Amino acid sequence: EPRYYPFAGGSINSMGLPNLGYRAYAELIPALKAFRKPVIASVAGLCEDDFPEIARTISRAGPDLVEVNLSCPNIAGKPQIGYDFETSERLIRR
């Protein structure tokens, strides 16, 4: 089945956010710092417990800023964590 379908009015993709995984990106951060530009990491998880683990791993690698993306994942039938203020606050405190 296609993962990307272009049509006259736009396109549809079902690729999600393909990536190398957070541990691989944590390993890249020191090399990125060598460019002497701010390194900003955006972290997201599939469930509430993923966020603190991923954020800690990335933070230990030394980026200048860690953004916690509470609007991901976008899964049909599952609300974004960012819309749940109590859960959002609990996550940020962790």
Q: What angle do CA 71, 39, 73 make, to 5 degrees?
A: 15
Q: Which is catalytic among the residues 41, 43, 68, 72?
A: 72
In terms of C-beta density within 10 A (0-12 exposed, 13-18 middle, 19 or more buried), how is residue 29 classed? middle
72 is catalytic: yes
Which residues are marked as active site? 72
